[in-house]
Amino acid sequence: MPIASLAGLYDVPTKQLNRQVRRNIKRFPADFMFQLARDEYNSLRCHFGTIKKGSHSKYLPFAFTDYGILMLSSVLNSDRAVEMNIAIMRVFIHLKEIISNHKELANRLEQLEQRMERKDDEVQAIFQAIHDLMEPPMPKRKPKIGFHS
């Protein structure tokens, strides 16, 4: 995502966004952000014919991954960035609750299964089917292509 678009998303000037990134550079490891190389930047300038030499920054632009975009919400101080940071925290809390509910359901199923162990084989088959549905499917093995001796 272009840095000007990110600045607009967080409702801050591009200059402020760049300044905050440089001041908090330890928060942006290589898998969060990187700076474009000169040839990459020139390639972009050729790709978009409307970019004129001298009309943009003399510094190479940053490129952010999805993690970097999320980290920006914690280093920027605009109202919009604070709102986005709070929303992100709420999503993580909600995901944690979903995961804990899944574990609780699995524990209850285990307890019920232990009580029903002495019942007939049909009930055991139902439990086995439920366990099979809870496990992710195994990837299918593809046959090898080519001549086999």
CA distance 42 to 48: 10
Q: Are the CB atoms for 33 and 62 separated by under 8 Å?
A: yes
Contacting residues for 72 by C-beta, under 8 A, at least 6 apart: 6, 10, 17, 20, 21, 64, 81
Residue range(s) defining the domain that contains residue 46: 3-77
Q: pLDDT tens across 65-119, in order?
A: 888 888 888 888 888 888 888 888 888 888 888 877 787 777 887 877 777 666 6
Number of domains in the chain: 2
Q: Are the CB atoms for 26 and 33 separated by under 8 Å?
A: no
pTM of the full predicted structure? 0.54
Same-domain check for residues 9 and 50: yes
Tell me the C-alpha to C-alpha distance, in Å, between residue 128 and each of 91, 131, 132: 33, 5, 6
CA atoms within 13 A on the CB side of 16: 14
The pLDDT confidence band at residue 54, using thresholds 50, 70 and 90, is: low
CA distance 95 to 107: 19
Contacting residues for 88 by C-beta, under 8 A, at least 6 apart: 70, 73
Residue 145 tokens read as 């292509």
In a domain, 13, yes or no: yes
In a domain, 103, yes or no: yes
Same-domain check for residues 31 and 64: yes
Same-domain check for residues 46 and 97: no
- According to DSSP, the β-strands at 33-35 and 62-64 are antiparallel
Q: Residue 26: what pLDDT? A: 92
Q: Are the CB atoms for 70 and 92 separated by under 8 Å?
A: no
- Evaluate if residue 61 carries a pLDDT over 70: yes
Highest mean predicted confidence (pLDDT) among 5-9, 14-18, 38-42: 14-18
Residue 22 tokens read as 């440089």
Show which of 32, 52, 77 is a domain's final residue: 77
Highest mean predicted confidence (pLDDT) among 25-29, 82-86, 90-94, 137-141: 25-29
In a domain, 59, yes or no: yes
